[in-house]
Chains A and B, each alone.
Chain A
Amino acid sequence: DAKTTQPTSMDCAEGRAANLPCNHSTISGNEYVYWYRQIHSQGPQYIIHGLKNNETNEMASLIITEDRKSSTLILPHATLRDTAVYYCIANYFSGGYQKVTFGTGTKLQVIP
């Protein structure tokens, strides 16, 4: 399973874009990059995932480098409710099962 590396913490001004980086230099060809976030005292919440191409949904955008060794989660207009711990995960699928290893994530603080 590929390990991911994220900064421990980041600050972002409210209304600005939050760019959260993730390094996954050992990711294999069949591992997807998934992002979850965890607001204090709640269960993690799925945000977005991708394999090779950049992805966008109503919550965020995911930019994956061409060599797939790193990615960036973009929250285009951060709000105070986006304050949370963000986890970048290399999600391995095999035989219909997925194997997920969470790291310690990035604590994003959105500042008014």
Chain B
Amino acid sequence: EAEVAQSPRYKITEKSQAVAFWCDPISGHATLYWYRQILGQGPELLVQFQDESVVDDSQLPKDRFSAERLKGVDSTLKIQPAELGDSAMYLCASTSGNNEQFFGPGTRLTVL
């Protein structure tokens, strides 16, 4: 069964450093999402792509976060510089049309 791939699974960094997360959605899925999940809370949408275009980044802290999906396939989420409050699980999901979202295993970020 096809799955959404994410790497790394875990990342520990010091504040003010740059970090990057990678996501490879299920083949053929045009819509890709990045979520942030703080411990004890539900996932919060950061950015949504339709193919290579951003369709919603209203909750993305653009002063430090950036996301790209250059060829409309895999995607990278970057944080620069990382802050202590960025410690969270970063989830990637993809979907095809008006169907359910398939989530990856997530990247757990710890900022020291």
Contact = CB atoms under 8 A, between A and B. Distances in A.
Interface of A: 34, 36, 41-46, 49, 85, 87, 93, 96-105
Contacts, number: 52
A98 B35 CA distance: 14
A49 B42 contact: no
Contacts of A98: 31, 95, 98, 101
A100 B98 CA distance: 12
Which one of B42, B91, B95 has the highest number of Cβ atoms from chain A below 10 Å of its Cβ? B42
Contact of B101 (A85, A100, A103): A100
Contact of A44 (B44, B48, B56, B91): B91
Contacts of B91: 43-44
B42 A43 contact: no
Interface of B: 4, 31, 35, 40-45, 48, 50, 55-56, 91, 93, 95, 97-98, 100-106, 108
Contacts of B108: 41
A48 to B, nearest CB: 9
A102 B44 contact: yes
A92 to B, nearest CB: 10
Contacts of A49: 100
A32 to B, nearest CB: 8
A97 B42 contact: no
